[in-house]
Chains A and B, each alone.
Chain A
Amino acid sequence: MNTRSVVDLTPGESGIINGFMDDTLSLKLLEMGCLPGQPIKYNFAAPLGDPICVSVSGYNLSLRLDEAITISIQ
């Protein structure tokens, strides 16, 4: 079993959202436009490596690493 998550992407790389590994967080992520089946792109990380900036649903979103890791991708 090796599920890839958003943190496994390299800067500039995209993936398709598969699902969420955290129930509470998924409520918020869904509302913010992180939808299963939609592409998500890793843009860049903050200078200290955390949080990161991703593109989803046509806009930029910042997530902490421990939040990004709950978004699994194909």
Chain B
Amino acid sequence: MSNRTIPKIALVGNPNSGKSSLFNHLTGLNQKIGNFPGVTVDKKTGICHLDATHKAEIIDLPGTYSIYPNSTDEKIVFDILGNKNNPLHPDIVVVIVDASNFKRNLLLFTQLYDLHIPTVLVLNMMDIVEKTGLSIDEKKLSQELGVPVIPMKARRGKGVDVLKKTLLNDMDYHFSPIFEARSHAPEAIDAVKEMFSINEDYVAYQMLQQHRINQSLTKNEKNLLTDLVEKHNFSRDDLRRKETLDRYAAINDFIDGSVKENFTTLPKHWTQRLDRIFTHKIFGYVIFFLILFLIFQSIFAWAEVPMDLIDLTFSELATWLSETLPPGVLTRLLTEGIVPGIGGIVIFIPQIAILFAFIAILEETGYMSRVVFLMDKIMRKFGLNGKSVVPLISGVACAIPAIMATRTIENWKERLITIFVTPLMSCSARLPIYTILIALIVPDRSLFWFINLQGVALMGLYLLGFLAAIISAWFMKLILKSKERSFLVMELPTYKMPRWKNVGITMFEKSKTFVFEAGKIIFAISIVLWVFASYGPGDRMDKAEEVILAETQNQQLTEQELHNKIESYKLENSYAGIFGKTIEPAIKPLGYDWKIGIALITSFAAREVFVGTMATIYSIGETDDEMTIKSRMRREINPDTGGPRYTLATGSSLLIFYAFAMQCMSTLAIVYRETKGWKWPVLQLLYMSGLAYLCAFITYNIFS
């Protein structure tokens, strides 16, 4: 292999074939998550050290059963592998198959092989193969297929070194197509090969099959291909059926001498036994809800200690800085704007990490597909699909990956409804808001010895989000009309122990991406907010002291009280205060004052800035910096009543508002990209904000 440029290696395989384990073994923490150009498919790339001197770029392509895509995600596989000009077109394709489920997995291999890119076949799950008495002669198989075949136990990392060595060597590669595409449609294929200067029959054949959904073709090229299909009577579906049957026949020939199989008696005891419990009429649902309950209890219980610690550390840091540094604008920007701003980002980490760990475990074990299986019939009643459960559950972490996960839903109407209602699920950005407000209004008591009252309140909010989502979905089902058919042809993988390394990497990568992506916005808004809260129009800020002194001439005030009066006068007359006051009439019926109004305005870009905004607003002009955000909010007084600002009514109303309101630019952007227009994101914004306002209004009036 030459040293000139780093070779690109694409990793392809069926879902549940162990592809992500292999990717993690090859790249470790050297991973980058980005988007494929032009589409919002998660692109995972990483650098792998093949040996001391050679590196390779590994591209993890979406898991797929076939080169014919069923979903938007799977389209990318042919777009990259079938187009030599694609910047991501690999030098080598590594196809990983689940050897314990050999035949169906090999179908994809035979399709990719025919694209004529140097291919390596990895037989994964050899441990299961050994246990089940199946035997695979990989040397013989390698001769039959004409490609290197590497047995692997990706879960334990066995075979990875052999794969690296194989990738380093020049592969002697004899190519003879498995599916003789040209013999089925010679004229059409020759015409495409000439028109697009393609050498491979199968690539040309695939362009005839898939040109309508191919992203790299221009409209004109698509039309040319459509004309060719008609002119040569290229009957796509018949040929595709014939192709699949031919391929399975070829697979049977390949494995004839090299694999001793007895598929019907494969002892999959554990999966059978567990399915009896997990898909049981009653226990199935009980277990599902217990798992959800466990997740929420853990998020609340386990994350609390590190979160308090982070909160305290940052307020200590602010105090220390303000005492150490010379007083001035920069020091104030640092202690009142930047440090609380960063603190507001870092405080997310424990909860996000726990949440993503649970989601990764559910995916890893194979339980997630059972959830789809359990819920499909119920979800269909609400215009959704069993597969909508995965986006809805992921929506608890973040709506952005969740909306991207809707691509596995083939039916457009079901997918659209899922996209529309997913942001109503309480995402992790709402968690800090929930946490802080619940702590203010719900007593920290145990209901029984293990159930925490605040945990129950938190779960209630998540349940509320879910109910809002499902009821909204039902309304949309009534409004939207569609004749497209809905499918649920889905593999139920065998149960596996989660690979803790994968869980750990997911936790780390997701937290990192989230903190840096969300962090940028929070950080910027914190600084902007500090500026708006520290400066005001005209000279009102400068005259604050005079005004207050004049006002309070006859009152006996301590220096401290006087200072507080001056500072709150300043905040009121700052730009932020003026914004807040402007919208105060609109939010007064919900029980909010202008300070909360400032938080609402800043939250419309991204709701996670709420806590940071609170930190900034309440620390402006504070003398005792060591107080945490929570205690500052608890101490806040409502001047109209003289009681605390965060009463049960205001707190609940604010909780409901944040539960329903669409306050995330990134989500709107992703909905725009996924639905290819402004219609749905705009409707979503109006619907969710309206719902939030209405429900918060009702809540406030019930509790006050």
Residues of A within 8 A of B264 (CB): 14, 39, 41, 55, 58
Query: Does B330 count as interface, using CB distance less than 8 angstroms?
Result: no
B229-266 residues with Cβ-Cβ distance < 8 A to A are 237, 240-241, 244-245, 248, 261, 263-264, 266
Given contacts A25-B489, A62-B491, 8 further A-B contacts (CB under 8 A): A27-B244, A32-B104, A32-B489, A43-B272, A46-B279, A62-B369, A64-B376, A67-B487
Residues of chain A lying within 8 A (CB to CB) of residue B263: 57-58
- With both beta carbons as reference points, the residue of chain A lying nearest to B264 in the complex is identified as A39
Closest to A64 in B: B488
A15 at the interface (CB under 8 A from B): no
Q: How far is the CB of A74 from chain B (nearest CB, A)?
A: 16
Known: A33-B104, A48-B377. Is A67-B284 also a contact (CB below 8 A)? no
How many angstroms from the CA of A65 to the CA of B489 in the assembled complex? 11
Q: Which residue of B lies closest to A20 (CB)?
A: B241
Which residues of chain B come closer than 8 Å to A64, judged between CB atoms? 376, 487-488
8 Å CB contacts to B: which residues of A4-50?
14, 23-33, 35, 39, 41, 43-44, 46-50
Return the chain A residue nearest B266 by Cβ: A58
B68 CB-CB contact with A under 8 Å = yes
- A26 and B237 alpha carbons, distance in the complex (Å): 10
Q: Chain B's nearest CB lies how many Å from the CB of A72?
A: 16
Given contacts A39-B264, A61-B491, A62-B369, contact A44 B275 (CB under 8 A): yes
| Cβ contact within 8 Å between A50 and B241 | no
* For the complex of A and B, 7 pairs with smallest distance between CB atoms: A58-B263, A33-B104, A60-B492, A48-B377, A47-B281, A30-B244, A31-B66
A30-B245, A31-B66, A44-B275 known; A60-B374 Cβ under 8 A:
no
Contact present for B107 and A31 (CB under 8 Å): yes
> A31 near B488 (CB under 8 angstroms)?
no
Q: Bound complex: CA of A28 vs CA of B69, how far in Å?
A: 10
Known: A44-B275, A47-B285. A31 touches B376 (CB 8 A): no
Chain A residues within 8 Å of B298, by CB: none
A73, CB-defined interface residue at 8 Å: no
A residues in contact with B103, CB < 8 Å: 33, 57-58
CB < 8 Å neighbour of B240 from A27, A57, A58:
A27
CA distance A49 to B285 in the complex (A): 14
Interface membership of A69, Cβ < 8 A: no
Could you tell me if A53 and B488 are in contact, using CB atoms closer than 8 angstroms?
Answer: no
Chain B binding site: helix, strand, loop or mixed by DSSP?
A: helix
Contacts of A35 in B (CB 8 A): 245, 248
Does A51 lie within 8 Å of B373, measured CB to CB?
A: yes
B104 near A58 (CB under 8 angstroms)? yes
Does any Cβ of A come within 8 Å of B535's Cβ?
A: no
Nearest A residue to B101 via CB reads A59
B68 contacts A31, C-beta separation under 8 Å: yes
Instruction: Identify A27's interface contact among B237, B279, B284, B491, CB under 8 A.
Output: B237
A61 touches B487 (CB 8 A): no
Q: Measured between C-beta atoms, what is the minimum distance from A68 to chain B in Å?
A: 10
Closest chain B CB from A23 CB (angstroms): 6
**Complex contacts, B492 vs chain A, CB 8 Å:** 53, 59-62
B488 and A47: CB pair below 8 A? no
Specify which of B66, B272, B284, B373 is in contact with A62 (CB 8 Å cutoff). Answer: B373
Interface on B for A, CB 8 Å cutoff? 65-66, 68, 70, 100-104, 107, 237, 240-241, 244-245, 248, 261, 263-264, 266, 271-272, 275-276, 279-282, 284-285, 369, 372-374, 376-378, 386, 485, 487-494
A63:B284 contact, CB within 8 angstroms: no
Question: Contacts A58-B103, A60-B271 given: A32-B374 contact, CB under 8 Å?
Answer: no
Listed A/B pairs (22) with beta-carbon separation below 8 Å: A24-B485, A26-B241, A27-B240, A28-B70, A30-B248, A31-B68, A31-B244, A32-B491, A33-B107, A33-B248, A35-B245, A44-B279, A46-B373, A46-B377, A47-B279, A50-B377, A53-B279, A58-B263, A60-B491, A62-B369, A64-B487, A64-B488
Which B residues are CB-close (under 8 A) to A51? 373, 376-377, 386, 488
For residue B493, which residues in chain A have a CB less than 8 angstroms away from its CB? Answer: 59-60
A71 to B492, CA, bound (A): 19
CB distance from B441 to the nearest CB of A (A): 38
Q: Are A59 and B491 in contact (CB under 8 A)?
A: yes
Please give the distance in Å from A43's CB to the nearest CB on chain B: 8
Q: Which residues of B contact A62 (CB under 8 A)?
A: 369, 372-373, 488-492
B487 A46 Cβ-Cβ under 8 A = no
* B65 & A31 in contact (Cβ 8 Å cutoff): yes
* Chain A residues with CB under 8 A of B66: 31
The smallest C-beta distance from B546 to any residue of chain A, in angstroms, reads 73
Closest to A28 in B: B489
Q: Whole-angstrom distance between the alpha carbons of A73 and B272 in the complex?
A: 24
The residue of chain B having its C-beta at the shortest distance from the C-beta of A34 within the complex is B489
Closest B residue, CB atoms, query A31: B66
CB proximity of B274 to chain A, nearest CB, Å:
12
- In the docked arrangement, what's the CA distance between A68 and B66, Å? 21
Q: Which residues of A contact B266 (CB under 8 A)?
A: 58
Say whether B378 contacts A48, CB under 8 Å: yes
For the complex formed, measure the closest distance between the CB of B125 and the CB atoms of chain A, giving whole angstroms: 12
Interface centre among A24, A58, A63 (most CB of B within 10 A): A58
Whether B241 lies near A53 (C-beta < 8 A) is no
Give the residues in chain B near A48, CB-CB below 8 Å. 377-378
Cα–Cα distance between A32 and B489 once the two chains are bound (Å) = 8
Whether A47 contacts B374 in the complex (CB less than 8 A), given A31-B107, A58-B104, A62-B488, comes out as yes
Give complex CA distance A61, B377 in Å. Answer: 16
